[in-house]
Amino acid sequence: MLRIGVSGLGRAGLETARYLLEQQDIRLVCGFCSPESSKRNKDLGEILGSRDLGIPVISVGDISKLDILPQVVIDFSPPEGALVNAPVFFENKINLVLASTGFSELHLKKITNLALKHNRGIVIAPNITMGVNVLMLLSQIASDILSSYDIEIIEYHHNKKVDKPSGTAVKIANQLPGEPIIHAIRAGGIIGLHKVMLVGQNDKIEITHESFSRAAFAEGALKAAKWVNNKSGVFEMNNVLDLNKILNKYVKKDVTAV
């Protein structure tokens, strides 16, 4: 049974914890929070508003106090917290699913170098939902075919989301030809929606992914955690979902001239 920890117990982290508790083939062994958090040294059940579950919530500095270490941690901490967490996890032979957004290239380089130094596995997944990764693949195909079309990316999130535009929108833009324009909307309690518009003179294509529940984040995070367990190296969600293999099913390798 795979042992998992969840770090960063905000909305996405707590929803992921709830989701993991419903799974039969994994064991949620701990939660991690910042040293200043009011959640520190509480039972996860208390934080979730249920009975005590015997699952401690600690800061990474107290990791030596755990009786059982996780094999993989799913981390939703903001970048400043994740940068503190990652070396502690790797030093304790724990693999990592990094599901946060807002990292600079320098921050990501530091974390990936640490993973390689300690021979650990890490999935860097600001785009943690499975559906949005399919959107990315479809958008790449469409933009390659419709290379003369204008591309606009629109992303919607709740008004508490700090990074603007989202890490997912930036990644989508970086994978498409030309210089796509990103429009970021922060309003109300919107969980997450990404739309890619490819517009020509006579027609347009829209590819949209919308999360109805943060359980979509949890579902993707668990798939990544299962996949990266016992692996070493630096990966992304396209590796987890093996999208290239799926795409190759639809590509004719042998073309015979008529």
DSSP 19-63: HHHT-SSEEEEEEE--TT-TTTTSBHHHHHTSS--S-BEE-GGGG
Question: Alpha helices of the chain — where are they, by DSSP H?
Answer: 11-21, 44-48, 79-91, 105-117, 130-145, 167-175, 215-228, 237-241, 243-248
Kindly name the residue from 39, 42, 118, 157 that is annotated as catalytic: 157
Whether residue 107 lies in the annotated active site: no
Whether residue 118 lies in the annotated active site: no
Kindly name the residue from 107, 161, 226, 231 that is annotated as catalytic: 161
Choose among 69, 87, 95: nearest CA to 228: 95
Distances (CA, A) of 61 to 82, 111, 128, 156: 13, 18, 27, 35
Judge residue 182's burial from the number of C-beta atoms within 10 Å of its C-beta, 0-12 exposed, 13-18 middle, 19 or more buried: middle
Choose among 56, 67, 73: nearest CA to 2: 73
Active site residues: 157, 161
